[in-house]
Every structure is written in C-alpha cells, then in structure tokens.
Amino acid sequence: MKTPWAGMMRAAAMMGVGPDAFWRLSLKEWRMLTARAEAGAPLGRGEMSLMMERWPDE
C-alpha cells in the first residue's frame, strides 16, 4: 500500500503543522493529531446540577 503523503501533508497544513514539524512527527503523534475525538456520554441531571453550582452563569 502506498503512503498518501500529499494528503497527509495537506491535512497537517490545515492543522497549522509546518513541513519541518510534520517530518519530525512520530507515527504515534500523527495518529493522535488526526484521531477523531471520542464522544462521551451525555451529562446526567446530577452532574449538570453539580456543574451549575460550581460554575454559575453570571
């Protein structure tokens, strides 16, 4: 399988990663940069109430 360097470099540029920094990235770092964020479970009523107490809107 051929590595899609052009697409990877475009993605890096759109994230603000310059060529020098791109070529210094390890594969693990690249995967972290390009991984999609995992969706967490929605807050329950108790968690939301606690947050509202701790950080009230002003």
Q: Cα angle at 44 between 49 and 53, to 5 degrees?
A: 10
Q: What is the pLDDT of residue 21?
A: 95
In whole angstroms, what is the distance from residue 22 CA to residue 4 CA? Answer: 14
Arithmetic mean of pLDDT, 41-55: 90
Residue 43: C-alpha distances to residues 5, 46, 48, 50, 55 (Å): 40, 8, 6, 11, 15
Instruction: Identify the band that residue 23 occupies on the pLDDT scale cut at 50, 70 and 90.
Output: very high
- Which pTM was predicted? 0.56
Instruction: Identify the band that residue 12 occupies on the pLDDT scale cut at 50, 70 and 90.
Output: very high
Mean pLDDT of the chain: 90
